[in-house]
Amino acid sequence: MSRITKAFEALQKERRKALVLFITAGDPSIETTIKMVKEAHTAGADIIELGIPFSDPLADGAVIQESFYRAIAKGVNIGKTLEAVKKIRKSGCQAPIVFMLSSTLVINHGVKKFMNDCALASVDGVILPDVPIEEADEFMPLARKAGLDTIMLAAPTSTSKRLKQLARLSSGFLYYISVTGVTGEKRAAPKEVGNALKKIKTLSKTPVCAGFGITDGEQARQISRHADGVVIGTQAIRVITKAKTRQKAVEDLVKFVRSIRRGLDGK
């Protein structure tokens, strides 16, 4: 059983919802990212998504794009992010860690090599947002063979047939993008998201997490009523970016995570 599945099972027993936190690897620095992962997990982030920067992040809004550009300027890549995860594991942190990145980076690295390198570093899963179902066979079997969870993205425009296919291909969790367009730039109405999530839950045995546009604990709580968890990224990056120092970035992110956790737990 994967670390991600164990996390969801433990949360379900406690009747709590998962908080999946997205941060960019290497922004503001790799060393700060290592601290953020460990401290955010302790503060209540159940699963960490590390975004590996790419120069053409089409599905990401301006906040994440700028974060990617800053990390790229510092030379952050797959290799440096893998080394960061190894350091995180050596410190004793067992947070489930997912890599989110462009398939172009994976292909350039070598698909089989990438999946095996992730497994060796104790990465738990991968999200390739630009890979449609029709091209999944190039990546997913190799990921599964390496012992990685494969997290697929579903959208409001996904048909029932497509949702079933996405659910079948997903392990760990299914990531529902609650608005169409770029990440973090607008919110979906909670009622609309709720109705969509109810439908998806009838089609998927895999846990479902909803993301895109969630900015505070109250909204996270509303969305989580119909999902197994929420994904928060853009607002977390905003918090990190506003901090004057790297240490303040860690501290402010921890405060933000705690506020979302309180909202999810209804406290």
Q: Which domains does the chain have, with CATH numbers?
A: 7-265 (3.20.20.70)
Written as six digits, the tokens of 159 are 């048909």
187, 251, 259: which is closest to 221 by C-alpha? Answer: 259
Q: CA 209, CA 224: separation in Å to the nearest integer?
A: 8
Residue in 14, 31, 39, 60 annotated catalytic: 60
| 252: amino acid identity, one letter | D
Interval 47-105: pLDDT, tens? 999 999 998 755 568 899 999 999 999 999 999 999 999 999 999 999 999 999 999 99
In one letter, which amino acid is 86?
K
Identify which has the larger pLDDT, 73 or 183: 73
What is the per-residue pLDDT for 181? 47
Amino acid at 114: F
Catalytic residue chosen out of the listed positions 27, 39, 46, 49:
49
Measured in Å, how far apart are the chain's first and last C-alpha atoms?
Answer: 31
User: Which DSSP string corresponds to 194-217?
Assistant: HHHHHHHHHH-SS-EEEESS--SH
49 as an active site residue: the answer is yes
Strands 174-177 and 208-211: parallel
For residues 156 and 196, what is the distance between their CA atoms, to the nearest angstrom?
7
Where residue 259 falls among pLDDT bands split at 50, 70, 90?
very high
> Rg of the chain over CA atoms, in angstroms?
17
User: Could you tell me the pLDDT band of residue 203, with boundaries at 50, 70 and 90?
Assistant: confident
- Number of Cβ within 10 Å of residue 189's Cβ equals 10
Report residue 259 as tokens.
């506020």
pLDDT at 72: 96
pTM: 0.94
Q: What are phi and psi of 56, to 5 degrees?
A: -135, 65
Catalytic status, residue 60? yes
